[in-house]
Amino acid sequence: MESNAPSPAISRRRFAAGAATAAVWIMTACGPKRLHEVPRARLKKAIQELERQYSSNHSKQITVSDAPPLPGVEFAYALDLSRCIGCRRCVYACVQENNQSREPQLHWIRVLSMEKEKGVDLSHADPYYNPPEVPEPGHFYVPVACQQCRNAPCTKVCPTGATWTEPDGIVVIDYDWCIGCRYCMAACPYGARHFNWTTPGIPEAEINSQTHYLGNRPRPKGVVEKCTFCIQRVRQGRYPACVEVCPAGARKFGNLLDKDSEIRYIIEHKRVLVLKEDLNTLPRFFYFYAT
């Protein structure tokens, strides 16, 4: 019989090796995976599972889109510093749209109040300005969110490859793969990345149920998040929430590869600048003075 095999030690060793190989295969084939590299079919399944999970957690139907990048599209943003009045409507529209935590508060957009005398000077910027009325005389405002850099320091440093740039130029995070080491936050020159220090607190009624798997789907505690140009909207041809809400018309958005787009017009005709140009991050977020 088999049990009389001459050297049981070898067969035991062989068994152990076989078992280890099988375990590795099972883990790599069936275990959780970076969304960056899962095949389309498995992504669909994973997303259905997310929808089920979110819908039961929040007792309402939550859809998670897997809309892919569109060919021939590279998104870019431009912000007119001469028009921004510092009202922070964009900040709160963004919070609503992208399911950011209300308690504790987490904002993807930070509006900095600066003195006209000093110009764009971060060491004198005030993010907590709170006058009775904006704009304050002698001040101008610089809203800052993720600059969607072409040479992004954050994706380079991520040890697990949980953040990357999509083909349409949006830097995204896989919230199910991020280990929360916050190296990307140390690497970001724009303070654009935010960490969930506790479980995000969002009133059930205020949850935006239209989500994207790389964007505004609910996040767990202990992971990093940031602006995605409203990926759930822009991949369906809509404007980001901040562009829509801006009462001053200071926010412009479009396809960099489309010669007739507004964004191209601005870059070609206005005085355009990027933040911290010397760091060679090559932002897709431009600031300009229209007037």
Partner 1 sequence: MNTIHRFSRFARGSFSLMMQGPRSYWLWLMFLVALIISGALAYAAQVSIGLGVTAMRDQVSWGFYIGNFTFLVGVAAAAVVLVIPAYVYDWKPIREIVIYGELLAISAIIMCLLFVIVDIGRPDRFWHLIPPFGYLNFPRSILAWDVLVLNIYFLINLLVATHILYRAFHGQRYAKRLVVPLVLLSIPMAVGIHTVTAFLYNGLAARPYWNSSILAPQFLASAFCSGPAILLVVLQLLRRFTAFEIQDQAIGKIAELMAYAMFLNLFLHGAEAFKEFYSDTDHLLFTQYWYWGLGEHRTLVPYAWSAVALNLVSFALFVNPKARRNWITLNLGCAATYAGVYIEKGMGLIIPGLTPDALGEIYEYYPTLTELRVAAGIFALGFLVFTLMLKVAVPISLGEFIRHDHADPAAARTPAAHEGSVLA
Cβ neighbours of residue 194 closer than 8 Å, sequence gap 6 or more:
106, 107, 108, 185, 224, 225, 226
Positions 15 through 34 that interact with partner 1 (CB under 8 A): 24, 27-28, 31, 34
Cα first-last separation, the chain = 92
Which range, of 57-65, 79-87, 151-159, 257-265, touches partner 1 by CB under 8 A? 151-159
Question: Residue 37 belongs to what H/E stretch?
Answer: none
Q: How far is the CB of 157 from partner 1 (least distance, A)?
A: 5
Of 242 and 266, nearer to partner 1 (C-beta) is 242
Out of 180, 201, 247, 249, name the contact with partner 1 by CB under 8 A.
180
Q: Classify strands 271-273 and 251-255 as parallel, antiparallel or unpaired.
A: unpaired
Q: What SS3 state is found at 1? A: coil
Of 180 and 249, nearer to partner 1 (C-beta) is 180
Whole-angstrom distance, CA of residue 46 vs CA of residue 63: 13
Contact 223, 178 (CB under 8 A): yes
Q: How far is the CB of 86 from partner 1 (least distance, A)?
A: 15
8 binds partner 1 (CB under 8 A): no
Any idea how long the chain is? Answer: 291
12 binds partner 1 (CB under 8 A): no
What are the residues binding partner 1 (CB under 8 A)?
24, 27-28, 31, 34, 37, 104, 110, 112, 121-125, 127, 144, 153, 156-162, 177-183, 185-191, 193-199, 220-224, 279-280
